[in-house]
Structure 1
Amino acid sequence: MAPRRFEKRRVGQTDLEVTTLGLGCASLAGIFSAVPAEQARATIAHALDLGVDYVDTAPQYGLGLSEHLVGEALRERDRRPIISTKVGRLLRPVPPGQVGKGNWAHPLPFNQHYDYSYDGVMRSFEDSLQRLGLDRIDILYVHDIGVYTHGEAANKLLWAQLESGGYRALRELRDSGTVKAIGFGVNEWPVLMDALALGDWDVFQLAGRYTLLEQTSLDPFLTACIARQVSVVIGGPFNSGVLVGGDKFDYAKAPEGVFARVRAIEAVCRDFGVPLPAAALQFPLNHPAVCNVLPGPRSPQELDGILDWWDADIPDALWTALADQGLLAPGTPVPGGMV
């Protein structure tokens, strides 16, 4: 199978370039429902064979399972993609009956412990290398720090860990060349404004907050990223599935107001003969700060479906029509200008 020619975009001011389509590996670790290991590895291999050159994982995904699957799929290949993983959670072994499974169907027998300190970041990085069975990680994200995950009181303590030591660990790893880029991977953009005040970063992975359904991060966050030359990877382009016919939004049952907005967007797409998921997938890349969109297929067949959406022709007039109906935020970049 000949690889496709995906556009590549630079990551911040680093020498890394990523394909604009990436592979997110949370779904492959069995979020909400199980994915057979062979199927997960086949999905990763299929993505790489097609020319996708950026793979994202994390210790949280399946409590170590995702990193193991990624490592198994990559170790026998002659050429590796750009790999990102995350810090902030340490995994501690427990008896299988004591695993806090959360949304994971078949996680490994660990529980997670939050630690954003200097030692915690270094330990997390080394543990990820062990689980992946690889000698390098290109991009290292601080994972899920913020009020959304921890609540206000606990987050203050964890942010103090990052501020007093974790950031220094990340800088040391980058300055030494051990990793090439550092950033955050979160579900809320205000914490990324705090990150920009804390120090210098290369790339942020933001899930669900700059999508066809929601552009709350447009300003001041994405505007600040342009000014600071920080790239943005858009995770969750389908908002947990509600933009591809599912009933989940932000990892839970979508409220009726979300469904109503999805129906309105879908009606506009239908008028132009464009599948809603195709518009959702391609939308974020209209913004100049965005370097990559990161869907999470669960099988090679789902990935092929994503590629069909990726290849769909979307007329510029569709974005204008969405804006005219108040379905895109004012100032949203689209081909040819802003709405």
Structure 2
Amino acid sequence: MDAFPIFTPHCPELPPLGFGAAAIGNLYQRVEEGAARAAVAAAVDAGIRYIDTAPHYGFGLSESRLGAVLADLDPREELLLSTKVGRVLVPVAPDAGPVRHGFADAAPFEPVFDYSYDGIMRSYAESQRRLGRDRIDLLLAHDLGTLTHGDAHAGHFRQFLDGGYRAMRELRHQGAVRAIGLGVNEWQVCLEAMGHADFDVVLLAGRYTLLEQTALDSFFPACATRGVKVIVGGPYNSGILVNGTRGAAPLYYNYEPAPAAIVDRVRRLEAACDRFGVPLAAAALQFPLAHPVVASVIPGMADSAQVAHTRALMDTAIPPALWQALRDDGLLHPEAPIPTAPTAPR
């Protein structure tokens, strides 16, 4: 018999804008300690009350940096934090290489997938130590799915269902975490997991954006039926929706060079935004929040300037006519909710 009470989804109320902390784990490039600290401080000063991190981000570096700065900025633990489980960090030699798994000059550990009961408990305890928190608000199983694991997905998924999921439920039942869920890059694995387990929240990166909304067809309706909230990560689809197509920056989509069809679609989005005098990045940041299952959007921010720019984009008033024009031009899913007031959402 199940030792847990009947599961009723409950996600703490999240602010519309959160802080994605992968960048301060040296994602793709080194971020100096002072700049990382300044980014977090600027986010707190800007009223951002939710921060997402993971052991994978710099192999403990993002969590350690957050723990150090929040000890001063948030001693009463009033900010909401999410972190992730599914990898354990194994010590390696400090000269393991300047860039590993996308992180530059990261901590001397190797991330190893482990979705077992013991692996999740170990990962949680180590995250709690690095973050210096008595409790972690949201705990998310990280990177399940075929996009990450390919043919090995079935084995990792079974390990999670047989052990890791039970560990997460225990932590929630004990009050060590407030909510449990998934942190993934594909909505298909969310539907698969929801067929076997119950979750409060899903952090879905890059799959509900101004560029793509296929999550509307089956995943978002399932979330609405079950009462599962969605956090949207990667709202800029690896940068192409913030940089656009006209600058000198490389055009990346889904962590890879953008294919021609995506570049063409972004050009059409840019043209529509230009007609209404709206920055493309502002539309990309605000669009996901119109859907009722979406609780928060969490772009990555590496320094205080990016925090200020993101806050300004979030506060940009967007005329409803832009959203209707995007729909009329076939650039939005016909069922995608659109903001109806000429102000930033919520």
TM bracket, shorter-chain basis: over 0.9
Q: What do residues 77-125 of structure 1 show as CA deviations (whole Å, max 9, x unaligned)?
A: 3443111000000000011233571211111011111000111110110
Q: Which residue type is aligned with residue 127 of structure 1? A: E
Question: Aligned partners of 2:63, 2:209: CA distance in 1, in Å?
Answer: 26
**Corresponding position of 2:302:** 298
Aligned runs of 1:1-339 on 2, under 5 Å? Answer: 13-14=9-10, 16-77=12-73, 78-80=75-77, 81-98=79-96, 101-151=100-150, 153-245=151-243, 246=249, 247-336=251-340
Q: For residues 15 and 207 of structure 1, what CA distance do their matches in structure 2 show?
A: 18
CA distance in 1, matches of 2:309, 2:142: 29
Which residue type is aligned with residue 291 of structure 1? A
Once the 2 structures are TM-superposed, how far is the Cα of residue 15 of structure 1 from its aligned partner?
A: 6.3
Report the AA paired with residue 40 of structure 2.
Answer: I
Counterpart CA distance in 1 for 2:63 and 2:259 is 32
Which amino acid in structure 1 is aligned with residue 172 of structure 2?
Answer: R
What code does the residue aligned with 2:18 have? G
1:223-278 superposed Cα distances (whole Å, 9 cap, x missing partner): 11111000000000011100011522111221222111111001001001100000
Determine the C-alpha separation between the residues in 1 that align with 2:303 and 2:338: 31
Whether the 8 Å CA contact 2:11–2:229 is kept in 1: the answer is: no
TM-score by length of 1: 0.93
Please tell me whether the aligned partners of residues 46 and 311 of structure 2 are also in contact (alpha carbons under 8 angstroms): no
Amino acid in structure 2 at the alignment position of 1:268: A
Q: Are the aligned partners of 2:9 and 2:226 in contact in 1 as well (CA < 8 Å)?
A: no
Share of identical aligned residues, percent?
49
| Moved beyond 6 Å, runs of 4+ | none
2:344 aligned partner = none
- TM-score norm. by structure 2 comes to 0.91
Distance 1:287 1:182 in 2: 21
Q: Which amino acid aligns with 1:144?
A: D
Unaligned 5+ segments in structure 2 are: 1-7, 244-248, 342-346
Deviation at 1:186, TM superposition (A): 0.4
Q: Give the root-mean-square deviation of aligned CA atoms.
A: 1.4
Instruction: Choose 132-141 or 20-29, whichever is displaced more.
Output: 132-141
In 1, the alpha carbon distance for the partners of 2:280 and 2:130 equals 37
Deviations 1:28-63 (A, max 9, x none): 111111111111111111111221110100000011
Structure-1 separation of matches of 2:162 and 2:180: 17
2:11 touches 2:179 (CA, 8 Å); kept in 1?
Answer: no
Q: Name the count of aligned residue pairs.
A: 325
- Give how far 1:13 is off: 4.3
